[in-house]
Chain A
Amino acid sequence: MTVTELCESCGFEAVCLPEPDRTVSGAYIGDLLSWVMGRASSDNAWITIMSNINVAAVASLSDVACVILAEGVKLDEDIFATASQKGINVISSPLPAFETALAIGGKV
């Protein structure tokens, strides 16, 4: 399923989708950046509550399909610009990380 389809089917908010047709496959949940880089696979959805600028760097370098910000976490304006530029898809979910994972489970 594409990032856009996933976002719409779960009723999440599309924060920025510069690569809307990217396919999502599997997911990884975590807030510690080195764990994400060590364990997430490319094309995963990365579910986190972290939203600082390093999240954009890690998402880009580890080549995840999208970042899903749980708990309704918002992106700062300057990170938004970086994410769009670097082609990082960012979605916001009002749910906690576990419920967010349940919502996308079976779809990716």
Chain B
Amino acid sequence: MSEPLVFHFDIDGEDFISAGQASIQIKKNLRRLGLSPETIRRVSIAMYEGEINMVIHAKGGEADVKVYEDRIEIILADKGPGIKNIDEAMQEGFSTASDTIRSLGFGAGMGLPNMKRYSDSMDIDTTVGVGTTVTMVIKIQ
């Protein structure tokens, strides 16, 4: 097995107006690697939702994207408040986002469901008061 190509990003937690820079950069990188539009779209949306969550719910964090021959792994780690009840958070429409966030078009409570929908597997490791790590795997098609 060859080593994956790794991209690392620090996600700024202050700037939620223009959040999403890491996902936009990943989209460019994957395009340059010649991946299919559908794979790029799935990775871009899944990562963007996760990146936005780190910004609006956890004051930022770190993102690592590993590109293997057959799959892409997205690891989003933050030291935010953690998620109390994952089942509840996974429900379409559940959101704790503020009105300010909603006025920007976020906070529809569809982020985690979208991340699940566009990835082939998703794992959430979270501890209240410590942080959250979301790992998503998307097969390259």
Contacts and interface: CB of A to CB of B under 8 A. Distances in A.
B41 A50 contact: no
The A interface is mostly helix, strand or loop, or mixed, namely helix
A84 to B, nearest CB: 15
B84 interface: no
Contact of B105 (A38, A50, A63): A50
B104 A61 contact: no
A75 B20 CA distance: 19
Interface in A42-100: 42, 50, 52-55, 57-58, 60-63, 86
Contacts of A54: 17-20, 104-106
Contact of B41 (A32, A55, A62): A62
26 contacts: A31-B105, A32-B105, A32-B110, A34-B108, A34-B110, A34-B111, A35-B108, A37-B48, A38-B110, A42-B38, A50-B105, A54-B17, A54-B104, A57-B24, A58-B48, A58-B105, A60-B44, A61-B20, A61-B23, A61-B24, A61-B27, A61-B41, A61-B45, A62-B41, A62-B44, A63-B44
